[in-house]
Amino acid sequence: MSWLHIDEASDFSLQNLPYGVFSCEGRDQRIGVAVGSYALDMKVLAENGVFSAIDFDVTTLQEENLNRYAALGRPIHRQVRKFLQNLLDVHTSLGHLLRDNETLRNLAFLPRANINMHLPMAVGDYTDFFVVPYHAQNCTNIFRPGQSLPPAFFQQPLGYHGRASSVVISGTPIRRPKGQFVTEDGRSVFEPSRKLDYEVEFAAFIGQGNAPGEGINVEDAEDYIFGLVLLNDWSARDIQRREAAPLGPFNGKNFSTSVSPWIVSLDALEPYRVASLPKNGPLLGYLDEKKDASVHDIPIDVQIQADSETFVVAQANAKNVVFSFA
């Protein structure tokens, strides 16, 4: 429980505390943490010495994106998370830092309804993995009718490189892409896609990096993940169908990819860990996590709003994968 009013139904409790990047009137782009109906301005806290008890480079919280802070690594992120939970707890021993400082409180807490969200990290690379068997089989049925999933699907995570420059924050308008496809009457045309589609996915932002050619053990891989977001892998199915064989998607998917604004840490998702879907046999050692609960049980409803009506068009769950982010 917090001394700050947080609605019981809020997704942004003290157990969550996701990071994002925002701006608002009078304030440039900066890092924030979602708490209840507020954004907690981390730049304001950093500039006022609130984090002085933690040994880390506090200037990383004064940046316009989360890249430098994310690169500090999971041990620092855990310290800051624990500190924020204590700072905001109803029985905090740190009341003098924020709760009892009215001037700083008024500067630090901003109603989320009054802020504009931005892409939380600069995206230098983007890889899209193909690890949901139900989705994969549906795609196979559409593009290669009569074929089954290849054995490699269950033996290693399959993926392809996306276009990092077209990753945008959720809410950014999407322009229907133009491309080459075959019409129903057999004509080849270059026109706006007639079959624009969505794919609901989870995405991981990587914090720490590794040197080229230097591997990361699967047991340590989660320590390199800063947090997770929802992702919409926009897809132009008619363009994709034309180009998919033999090299896979290109123009059918590279025009835009939307991500949600708040990055949720793996520590916040710890209570929702479950086992992944079974593989078709043992994995090679470099992929064997040697633990049962490696994915997260998070249900997702996909809704489409048309005028004043909302329709549920799909239901999914983040646990329905054969490989975890590690």
199 is in an annotated binding site: yes
253 is in an annotated binding site: yes
CA 53 centroid distance within chain = 30
270 is in an annotated binding site: no
Q: Which residues are annotated as catalytic?
A: 135
128 is in an annotated binding site: yes
240 is in an annotated binding site: yes
309 is in an annotated binding site: no
238 is in an annotated binding site: no
Q: Which residues are annotated as a binding site?
A: 128, 130, 144, 199, 201, 233, 240, 253, 257
Q: Which residues are annotated as a binding site for substrate?
A: 130, 144, 240
Q: Which residues are annotated as a binding site for Ca(2+)?
A: 128, 199, 201
Q: Which residues are annotated as a binding site for Mg(2+)?
A: 233, 253, 257
